[in-house]
Structure 1
């Protein structure tokens, strides 16, 4: 399953975030595949798309950075997946 991961942090955490990112490369835990990650310019904000079937690995991802960043994780669907779900919903209503 794909997930959207959003994060933000306070400016006071910037040096610690940079240090950890440079040390770890921002690697995801085992069981979480990073599909893409984007960082805002000029702040501790960003978004990543990850894939995992392991809720414990997803929890580990948020715990790895939870002391420095506020993270939100949402299940994600592609256009094709959403289209199939909407089509199934519409068919059931007819």
Structure 2
């Protein structure tokens, strides 16, 4: 399953975030989580990633590595095709 991961940090956390990112390369996800892509906002301490996982436990472990710097929001995500199929099933059930 795909998920949208969004993060935000306070400007005061920037030195710690930069130091940790440079030291860890952004802490790649653990086994069981595939990062499809990751993007960072310019001029803000925020960004988003698309990940794939069938297990939320490694996702939780991953974001907890950064939980002292960022607040996270993780939402299930659907492709256009998956959403279209769900909408079609919903319409057919009416």
Interval containing the TM-score (normalised by the shorter chain): over 0.9
Partner residue, 2:5: 5
The 4+ residue runs of structure 1 with deviation greater than 6 A are none
Q: CA deviation at 1:45?
A: 0.8
Q: CA deviation at 1:25?
A: 1.1
Distance in 2 of aligned mates of 1:31 and 1:24: 19
Partner residue, 2:31: 30
Could you say what secondary structure the match of 1:65 adopts?
coil
Distance in 1 of aligned mates of 2:54 and 2:22: 27
Structure with the higher fraction of residues in helix conformation: 1
Unaligned runs of 5+ in 1: none
RMSD in angstroms over aligned alpha carbons?
Answer: 0.8
Partner residue, 1:52: 53
Q: CA deviation at 1:8?
A: 0.6
Distance in 2 of aligned mates of 1:57 and 1:84: 29
Q: TM-score, normalised by structure 1?
A: 0.94
Unaligned runs of 5+ in 2: none
